[in-house]
Amino acid sequence: KAGVTQTPRYLIKTRGQQVTLSCSPISGHRSVSWYQQTPGQGLQFLFEYFSETQRNKGNFPGRFSGRQFSNSRSEMNVSTLELGDSALYLCASSPGQGHSGNTIYFGEGSWLTVV
């Protein structure tokens, strides 16, 4: 079965612009999480959606937002981009939400460069 698909894979934006990243989870998975990965910082949790509801949120400013659609596909949006937002954004899907003991599966990520 197809894995987690993220689009676009690479993009370059200018400071002040906004960006929308898309994630299609594995078929049947209802939970989608987003992570920001930068060198030395590891994977920083952004938010988790389950059945179209945000279940959990990390410590990121309000410029970072997301949503999930009825087909479990998810988007994340970053407004007023800053140079420090340059990172690999990873989406992960899971059959269930937290405390379920389910494995999460990562997509290959979207590389965002802000200039």
Partner 1 sequence: QQPVQSPQAVILREGEDAVINCSSSKALYSVHWYRQKHGEAPVFLMILLKGGEQKGHDKISASFNEKKQQSSLYLTASQLSYSGTYFCGTEGDDYKLSFGAGTTVTVRA
Q: How many helices (H) and strands (E) does the chain have?
A: 0, 11
Least Å distance between CB 57 and partner 1?
A: 9
Give whichever of 25 and 109 is closer to partner 1, judged by the CB atom. 109
Least Å distance between CB 12 and partner 1?
A: 18
Beta bridge partners of 71: none
| Interacting residues toward partner 1 by CB under 8 A | 4, 33, 35, 40-45, 48, 55-56, 58, 90, 97-99, 101, 103-109
The position carrying tokens 């590389």 is 111
Least Å distance between CB 51 and partner 1?
A: 14
Triad 65, 49, 97: Cα angle to 5°: 150
Distance CA 34, CA 26 (A): 14
Give whichever of 58 and 73 is closer to partner 1, judged by the CB atom. 58
